[in-house]
Amino acid sequence: MIDSHAHIYASEFDQDRDQVVQRALEQGVEKILMPNIDLDSIQPMLKTQAAYPQVCHSMMGLHPCYVDSNVKQTLDIIHSWFDKHNFVAVGEIGIDLYWDKTYKAEQEMAFITQLNWAKEMKLPVVIHTRDSIEETLALLRKEQDGSLSGVFHCFGGSVEEAKAINDLGFHLGLGGVSTFKNGGMDKVIPHLDMNYVILETDCPYLAPVPHRGKRNEPAYTSLVAQRVADLRELSIKEVDRITTHNASQLFGL
């Protein structure tokens, strides 16, 4: 299995990171992909990759919640890292209007800028959306010239939204929300195109049932896989095979 979205470089894992990686491997999670969020997360992320080079792979991008009035300078620094290190994706990027709409214009500029980096570097993008699916899709439709690929991570939307995302050539990242009793995903997952589904945890956030409310970790990818398997009436082995293939292809692993 591949956990396609995990912040295991975060301070929440500083006390037991070795054990967390070991538990993931024991559950059959062989690759852990780490999205960057801001300037402060770069060094911890690269240090984590250096400690587990066979398992952990880094992305580089600016998360929309960390966009502010200094966005141009921040993007320049983020962009400079692509000359220093190989990254599997541009991410995590996107638009988040849930907490604060103050920097909506700056978020959109940062999103488009980073989409253009992805085109130039032929890398997939990892997209974060919160209260912004329509805005994100509208910008993506303008920018999609056939060369963009990527994933809408932490997908919790409708069948119609899933289809709109797939029509643009993008994957859906399923995580802990898929296991929530009132998350609504039990009505959606049976209708998704499995060619576009990948698994993730978004740890330390959004732990799946039965660990909801506690710290999430990559080992729990298997709980998401089991939920998808149950809802699709497939074996977990088949879900593992399909999603691992999809993620491997998307991120060039």
Distance CA 48, CA 8 (A): 8
Q: Which residues pair with 32 in a beta bridge?
A: 3, 56
Q: What is the tally of structural domains in the chain?
A: 1
* Domain with 241 in it: 2-251
Distance CA 48, CA 51 (A): 5
* Strand, coil or helix: 26: helix
Token couple for 42:
């770069």
Nearest CA to 27 out of 42, 49, 6, 50 is that of 6
* Res 133 pLDDT > 90: yes
- What are the tens digits of pLDDT across the range 169-211? 999 999 999 999 999 999 999 999 999 999 999 999 999 999 9
**Helix axes 159-167 and 133-143, enclosed angle (nearest 10):** 20
Global pTM reads 0.97
Q: Give the CATH number, domain containing residue 136.
A: 3.20.20.140
- What are the tens digits of pLDDT across the range 72-97? 999 999 999 999 999 999 999 999 99
The model's confidence at residue 100, banded by pLDDT at 50, 70 and 90, is confident
* Residue in the structure block whose two tokens are 């200094």: 70
Distance CA 54, CA 247 (A): 16
Token couple for 127:
């997209």
